[in-house]
Amino acid sequence: MSDTRGGTRDDSDVRTPDDEHDDELAPDPRLTRQTDEGAQELQQTRDLVVTGGPWPEVEGEGDTMIINMGPQHPSTHGVLRLMLELDAETIVRAKPVVGYLHTGMEKTGEELTYVQGATNVTRMDYASPLSNELVFSMAVEQLLDVEVPPRATWIRMYLNELNRIASHLLWQATNGLDLGALSMIIYGWREREETLRLLEKITGLRMNNNYIRPGGVAAELPDGWQDDTLELCNLVEKGTAEYDELLTGNPIWQERLVGVGVITTEQALALSATGPILRSTGFPWDLRKSQPYLAYDQVDFDVIYTENGDCYDRYRLRLQEILESVKIVRQCVEKMPPGDYRVQDRKVTPPPRARIDESMEALIHHFKLFTEGFKVPPGETYVAVESPRGEVGCYLVADGTGKPCRLHIRGPSFYNLQAMSPMMEDRLIADAVAVISSVDPIMGEVDR
Amino acid sequence: MGLEQVPYSFLTGRLEDLVKWARRNSVWPATFGLACCALEMMAAGAAHYDLARYGMEVFRASPRQADLMIVAGRVSQKMGPVLRQVYDQMVEPKWVISMGVCASTGGMFNNYALVQGVDQIVPVDVYVPGCPPGPETLMHGILLLHGEIRSGEIMKRRARTAHGGAAIQVDQRDGTPADSLATR
Amino acid sequence: MPDDDAREDAHKNGDTRVEEEEKETAPAPDDEVAAAVVERFPGTVFHCSHGQPVVYVDRAVWAELGGFLRDEQQFTQCVDVTAVDHLVDAARLFVPGVDPERFEVVASFLSHPRNRRIRAICEVPAEDATVPSLTDAYPGANFGEREVYDLFGIAFTGHPDLVRILMPDDWVGYPLRKDDAPARVPVTFKEDPRPR
């Protein structure tokens, strides 16, 4: 209704419900009705008004809520799905659901020859592919009863430690990202890129290298690798010192990590957890020292372990392990023995490419090796090495043909995920992210 | 050229060019890193290769806020429905880059466990080969996508092919119609 | 029976390894833990596989073996539980005294205080593919046993949560069995129309 009073602008403009001017300015009847009804509605349902008043006793209050986290979520740990049972913000129970990256690699492994096998296993733990290749190659060599020449052994050890540096730097970066320290992911990739560049120079690829093969390694180290390595070592040490300064004493970092995700040695052992999780509980078990393989008994390094079993300890542990790996790498540069980079048995390793043009035999061997592969006598073996995530093992059953009867890789993250549930119970959701990150699962080896 | 030298303070152009410019220079990727390729995708976003030069360094966790889904890694049978659901939640215009051979064709794993090519589930605009493709290869793919957006080819193709198949409804084997979040 | 055929084939091929095993009828366990296991569970066969001690036990005592190793032999961790399907072996390792079946369930144990490992294998027939679970003694065997159930179809009695872990919940079949095909999709190329 238009107001056609005109003239004086006084308080008579203002409408109030009990204003006598209402008679003249009959408001829209629909409006009134709505308002009346609305007001009545509000009256009746006053008990459920959100903005104030006491909450009524709703039935089912105190029940827990089950919420799903993942498999697609911004944490960079791949496709892990967590079913969380929550009581307000506290996690009552946590159950990891895996299988979202199951690739059938063990089935594929039965279809590939032993020469091709390294390409398959390398993609399981894709953050440290050379560990997988190493454990597979060692299992095959054990079944074949061949011994790898010392230079190949030292090259393998050198590459594994480079891989450990790259993997732990990746972990530092993603841990920072998960906890909100975004500068950490930008800086963490700095040294990792340099490490990957060196790996590319040596193996040909940044990741999934397919370089450690049964019989030795695929090719000789390139010229100038010693200088490049020492330069990298200096860079990594400098970078690690920076991250230490940035984060270790940082009160926010400590608030988020100290006392979070605590696990005891008994729990970790019972749940088959290995690697940094076990070492953070005060249990100094490292396969490189306790059951040495390759040439680890000839280099000098310390096993890092901490006492409290919380996420902060695991952070410090992995940071320190980078420095221990740098120590080992420096010693590899000094002590690398001369010799062959792969075993000379022509039935196992292909001849050098130049020989193919000269010798018919070499050509035939090359052909047969890359088409049929070599045959491994029947047997079974289990070999384990220490990857950045724990004990990675290969259980290999051979049946006399050129392809394995059964290739099983014991992925450390698969068993470490079992340890994640007790770490998360009775903690807040925000701590769940810190815990997942400190368990460091790589879903490729969880699901295979 | 400083603004002082411009004689008239307006420029002419086509509206669609402006829209295309805005669209291609601020493509926000959704986080869909699955396996090894995810590490190379993160490397592309990190300081050395730096996707921020394209305005792409913000990886949005929520698909509603993302324009581009970079499927980085192998898609298993269990993950397929999740992939489709995330794709459906993205708002038009949306693009998909299939990064790596596992996402493009199933890669070296031609077996029961993997979807042999993510284009069986979502329409793909750019395929980036590699195992894993290095960050430069991924950036080449991204630049290809920018080129497609700039020329408008991609939107024309979409219109011709029913959104690249995204609008096609596939029913289940037992006749139950599929839920579709994409039909509008 | 396929296993006998495989053994015959192996004999024909003159596989020396198989012949060697046959010469020793009951190798004495030179590993003290294996000796203790053989003593505690009569009928156990010891085998030295490339320097690693392996005990072949009857599956009925599988769970008891776990308890024995943990409580009396200080094997603190069950490192791995897996299985093998020997349906189509060209040549199978023949250990005298062991009655081979289609499946084998393999568990690896690690003792930290004694710094040693031992592997236990039990034979599982295809028609009755059940094994007692190790999760009472070793809760860490949980995921490993679920994986074996998922991929081989071997059920573990006494397991707290025996459901599929890697495959989707409604998957039919057990992928790692040899009679479950790898399901390779034929690949075609533009220039070459034959599917590979």
The secondary structure of A51-74, three-state, reads: CCCCCCCCCCCCCCEEEEECCCCC
**B17 contacts: CB under 8 Å, gap ≥ 6:** none
Neighbours of C82 (CB within 10 A): 25
Report in angstroms the alpha-carbon separations of A213 from A63, A65, B33, B109, C143: 55, 50, 28, 20, 29
Residue of A nearest to B40 (CA): A207
Q: Is the pLDDT of residue B162 over 70?
A: no
**A400:C144 CB<8 A:** no
Which residue of chain B comes nearest to A119, CA vs CA? B108
Calpha distance B57→C115 (Å, rounded): 49
**DSSP SS3 for A383:** strand
Rounded distance between C-alpha atoms, residue A421 and residue A417, angstroms: 7
CB contact under 8 A, B78 and A103: no
> What's the pLDDT score for residue C148?
94
DSSP secondary structure, chain B, as one string? --GGG-SSS-----HHHHHHHHHHTTPPEE--B-SHHHHHHHHHHSTTT-GGGGT----BSSGGG-SEEEEES--BTTTHHHHHHHHHHSPSS-EEEEESHHHHH-TT--STTB-S-GGGTS--SEEE--SSPPHHHHHHHHHHHHHHHHHTHHHHHHHHTTGGGTT-----TTSPPPP-SS--
Q: For residue A428, what is the DSSP state?
A: B
Amino acid letter at A67?
I
Strand C52-57 and strand C116-124: the pairing is parallel
The CA-based angle A170-B95-B61, given to 5 degrees, is 45
Residue in the structure block whose two tokens are 């001690």: C53
Query: What's the number of CA atoms in the CB half-sphere (13 Å) around residue A94?
Result: 28
Better-predicted residue by pLDDT, A297 or B10: A297
Confidence of residue C33 (pLDDT cuts 50, 70, 90): confident
Mean pLDDT, rounded, for C31-48: 86
**CA distance to partner chain B, nearest, from residue A126 (Å):** 6
Burial of A421 (0-12, 13-18, 19+ CB in 10 A): middle
Q: How confident is the model at residue C28 (pLDDT cuts 50, 70, 90)?
A: low
Q: What is the pLDDT of residues A279-305, one digit of tens each?
A: 999 899 999 999 999 889 999 998 989
Which of C91, C165, C176 lies closest to A106 in CB terms?
C176
- Asked if residues A176 and A184 have their Cβ atoms less than 8 Å apart, the reply is yes
User: What six digits make up the tokens of A61?
Assistant: 């209050």
* pLDDT the model gives residue B163: 64
* Rg, Å, chain B Cα set: 18
Rounded Cα–Cα distance for residues B15 and B6 (Å): 21
- pLDDT on residue A354: 76
> For B94-134, how does the pLDDT look when each residue is reduced to its tens digit (9 = 90+)?
889 999 999 999 888 988 889 988 988 888 889 999 988 99
In A312-355, the DSSP E strands lie at none
Q: How high is the pLDDT of residue C94? A: 82
Note the maximum CA span of chain A. Answer: 116
Lowest mean pLDDT among A74-88, B10-24, B129-143, C163-177: A74-88
Question: What pLDDT, on the 0 to 100 scale, is given for residue C17?
Answer: 41
Contact status, residue B46 vs residue B73, Cβ threshold 8 Å: no
What is the average per-residue pLDDT within B77-105?
89
φ/ψ (deg, to 5) at B48: -70, -45
Is the CB of C186 inside 8 Å of chain A's CB atoms? no
Q: What is the pLDDT of residue A92?
A: 87
CA A110 to CA C80: how far, in whole Å? 20
Looking at B10-14, C145-149, C191-195, which range is the least confident one? C191-195
Look at residues B158, B164, B149, B159 and name the one whose alpha carbon lies nearest to residue B27: B149
Question: Could you give the ipTM of this predicted complex?
Answer: 0.82
% chain B with pLDDT above 90 = 22
Q: Do C187 and B110 touch (CB under 8 A)?
A: yes
Per DSSP, the three-state class of A135 is: helix
**pLDDT score of A190:** 87
A chain contacts of residue B121, beta-carbon cutoff 8 Å: none
Mean pLDDT, to the nearest integer, of C28-57?
Answer: 85
C88 and chain B in contact, CB less than 8 A: no
Q: Which residues of B touch A72 (CB under 8 A)?
A: 31-32, 82, 86
Distance CA C124, CA C102 (A): 7
**Is there a contact between C49 and A380 if contact means CB atoms under 8 Å apart?**
yes
Spans of chain A below 70 pLDDT: 1-62, 75-76
Q: What is the pTM of this model?
A: 0.84
Q: How far apart are CA C29 and CA A148, in angstroms?
A: 29
Q: Is C164 on the interface with A (CB under 8 A)?
A: yes
Please give the residue that has the higher pLDDT: either C15 or C160: C160
C195 lies within 8 A of chain B by CB: no
Interface contact flag, A378 C140, Cβ < 8 Å: no
Is pLDDT of B158 > 90? no
User: Rounded to an integer, what is the distance from CA C100 to the centroid of its chain?
Assistant: 11
Q: Does A415 touch chain C (CB under 8 A)?
A: yes
CA B88 to CA A364: how far, in whole Å?
54
- CA A98 remoteness from chain centre: 14
How far apart CA A314 and CA A115 sit, in angstroms, is: 37
Token pair for residue C114? Answer: 């004694």
**Strands (DSSP E) along A17-144, which ranges?**
65-69, 81-87, 90-97
From the list A325, A119, A104, the residue with the least C-alpha distance to A209 is A119
Torsion of CA B112, B118, B120, B126, to 10 degrees: -150
Q: Do C182 and B111 touch (CB under 8 A)?
A: yes
Would you state the pLDDT for residue A239? 92
pLDDT, tens digit (0-9, with 9 covering 90-100), for B34-48: 998 999 998 998 888
Q: φ, ψ for residue A213 (rounded to 5)?
A: -125, 160
The burial class, CB within 10 Å (0-12 / 13-18 / 19+), for A391 is buried
Q: Averaged over C134-156, what is the pLDDT?
A: 92
Question: Which subunits sit against C, judged by 3+ Cβ pairs under 8 A?
Answer: A, B
Distance CA B9, CA A448 (A): 62
Contact status of C93 with chain A (Cβ, < 8 Å): yes
